[in-house]
Amino acid sequence: MIRKFFAQLSGRTTAFCIGFFVSGNLLQWVHRLDATYIAFMGTLLGAVIGHSVKEDFFAGKTADSGKDDSHA
């Protein structure tokens, strides 16, 4: 069950980033965190998620280009 959850969220890092971001926003909503913290965490987690997406994107391109070269 947990493997399916992590697989849908593209791995553990992305899942934990989303979890921290959501919990931070909920705590801010009930006035337990400062807005500066939310902005910092949003930037940090955005960078991590962006890096994860970049890795997935270029891994797909590399695999596709290898297939195209072998058929040429």
For residue 46, name the pLDDT band (cuts at 50, 70, 90).
confident
Query: What are the DSSP E strand ranges found in the chain?
Result: none
How do residues 4-44 score in pLDDT, each as one tens digit? 766 776 667 777 777 887 888 888 788 887 888 778 888 88
**CA-to-CA distance for 34 and 44, rounded, in angstroms?**
16
Q: What is the pTM of this model?
A: 0.45
In sequence order, which residues have a C-beta less than 8 Å from that of residue 6 and are 6 or more positions away? Answer: 12, 15
Average pLDDT over residues 43-63: 79
> Residue 25 in contact with residue 38, Cβ under 8 Å?
yes
Nearest 5°: the CA angle 60, 65, 69 is: 155
Instruction: Give the residue extent of every domain in the chain.
Output: 2-62
| pLDDT score recorded for residue 63 | 59
Look at residue 67 in the predicted model and tell me its pLDDT: 55
